Amino acid sequence: IPALEEVDLTNCDREPIHLSGHIQPHGVLLVVREPELEIVQASKNTQDLLGIDAESAIGQDLSLLFDQIQLEKLKTCLRKENLKTVNPIKLSVERAGKYLEFDCILHRQEEEVLMVELELATSPENLSVFSFYNSVRATVSKIQSTPNLKELCQLTVEEIRKISGFDRVMVYQFDPEGNGAVIAEAKAEKLSPFLGLNYPSSDIPKQARKLYSLNWLRLIPDINYQPVPLVSGKNAASIQPLDLSFTVLRSVSPIHIEYLQNMGVAASMSISLIKDQKLWGLIACHNYTPKYLNYELRAACEFIGQVMSLELQSKEGNEDYDYKLHLKSILTKIFEDISTSENLSQVLVKCQHNLLEAVNAQGAAIVFGDNCYRVGQTPQGEALKYLTQWVQNNLNKEIFYTDSLTKCYPEAEEFKDTASGCLAVAISPTQKIYVLWFRPEVIKTVNWAGNPNKPVEKDEDGNPRLSPRKSFELWKENVRYKSLPWKECEIDAALELKKAMINIVLCQVDKLEKLNT
């Protein structure tokens, strides 16, 4: 495990971000042993917020901070089965004759190890319950009535922006390799859009993704903060290094801070989107000045993230449903053309464009022995001839498809712009009739809106180490020689077409035989 100061761009997926031993300074963390409620670790900033220095708090119990009434309030909560449901508890601490009110957030790290996080409360006690309820109630019913994924995402970013006030709120969706794209955005008018931008998987390393699938929300109110170390007493030995996975104040990776600096961002919040127990994406929020949200508002945002997560299942299903209907209607048109044609070449003349749309390809080649009929963008001449031969020799299943042709056929590199993806079926191997469909390299099909923000920090050579521009370069490397993947319904459509085409070829053979007898 690399130490914090040894983390760099090459080993950052091994950085133990949950063991940083530091928190952000907008609250204090106390690690408390039950049942005595003895403070065994404390963040160094207790002096700033509570007026007691961390070293002298250690070894004492919580009555050092809280009077009898507050302590009783706390103890009542500790008897609750699910501690999370009591958060936040409003607790006050007397300091120089005045009472300061705190949001206290509790969870148990392990048995009898209680994590107590205190943030200065910023809203009056009763009002907050109502505002939480009101802001979320309307949003939830709107979210549930959106008809499809696109509108679900758009509505959610708009609602999160209204509730949180962040300058920019995005839905960031992962692909199967972990690369991501901004698929919805709500932003302050003056900002240039990130919508449609793509980023490599390395922008959010593995261990961070794992953490984000366990907890729903993290906030960095001010990226230029000084991390606050934890101070321990002798009774803390068994819980060192302290696992900060579920603390809300956890200090974030310095690499990520640098990334945000280079993006020109001053505050960041992200909310997990989880589908089928997997991290599907994030709601990513940026502010260009420091921005703090109190616990209630964070809880409202977290709740909306959870509601959106539940909706993903059905809305994504719907998306496929609409698309499948579309493919079906295209197939029907082609079948009509087939029924009114004498032979395969006639079909092809009639249904040119539909032949591509049936599987969402940009090009197709129908090979009849030495002859070839082409639609859209395809490899040409010799290149196509050799590819076809290769397909003939290697098509040993009902269908062949790949979103990365160069992996199995390295020569494909020269025509990556037309055929990084390929799907092929045999209509008649004896007569050497084949259909090949093509998709270009994905880079050609996605939308890159240009450098979204002027990078600010530079390294010795004058280049920013981490920036969206760099990320785009990296993402391009990640998706090199790859097309968009073939969906199951597209593969099914190709198989349907194959059946229909085989039929028309067989009919022709029949007719020829009848003529001959």
H/E run at residue 262:
helix 254-263
* Minimal distance, residue 8 CB to ligand BLA, in Å: 7
Locate 153 and state its tokens: 């995402």
Measured from the CB atom, the residue of 179 and 420 that comes closer to ligand BLA is 179
CA distance 293 to 166: 10
Measured from the CB atom, the residue of 178 and 376 that comes closer to ligand BLA is 178
Locate 308 and state its tokens: 């959106």
* Minimal distance, residue 255 CB to ligand BLA, in Å: 4
CA distance 499 to 157: 45
* Minimal distance, residue 474 CB to ligand BLA, in Å: 7
Measured from the CB atom, the residue of 252 and 358 that comes closer to ligand BLA is 252
CA distance 92 to 69: 10
The CA-to-CA distance between both ends of the chain, in Å, stands at 80
Going by C-beta distance under 8 Å and a sequence separation of 6 or more, which residues neighbour residue 362?
356, 376, 377, 418, 438, 439, 440
* Residue among 367, 360, 364 nearest 386 (CA): 367
Measured from the CB atom, the residue of 218 and 416 that comes closer to ligand BLA is 218
3-state DSSP of 32-69: EECCCCEEEEEECCHHHHHCCCHHHHCCCEHHHCCCHH
Measured from the CB atom, the residue of 256 and 439 that comes closer to ligand BLA is 256
Q: Cα dist. 516→26, 292, 503, 505, 509 in Å? A: 90, 86, 20, 17, 11
Measured from the CB atom, the residue of 170 and 387 that comes closer to ligand BLA is 170
Measured from the CB atom, the residue of 86 and 183 that comes closer to ligand BLA is 183
Q: What are phi and psi of 278, to 5 degrees?
A: -115, 150
Quote the radius of gyration of the chain (alpha carbons, Å): 30
Locate 496 and state its tokens: 């349907």
CA distance 289 to 457: 17
Locate 152 and state its tokens: 């679900």
* Minimal distance, residue 403 CB to ligand BLA, in Å: 22
* Minimal distance, residue 484 CB to ligand BLA, in Å: 20
Locate 341 and state its tokens: 């044609």
* Minimal distance, residue 228 CB to ligand BLA, in Å: 15
Q: Which positions touch ligand BLA (CB under 6 A)?
A: 9, 12, 15, 17, 170, 172, 180, 182, 194, 199, 202-205, 208, 218, 220, 252-253, 255-256, 259, 268-270, 282, 284, 466, 471
* Minimal distance, residue 459 CB to ligand BLA, in Å: 13
* Minimal distance, residue 211 CB to ligand BLA, in Å: 6
* Minimal distance, residue 95 CB to ligand BLA, in Å: 31
Tell me the sheet residues that pair with 97: none
Measured from the CB atom, the residue of 440 and 452 that comes closer to ligand BLA is 452
CA distance 255 to 96: 40
Measured from the CB atom, the residue of 456 and 507 that comes closer to ligand BLA is 456
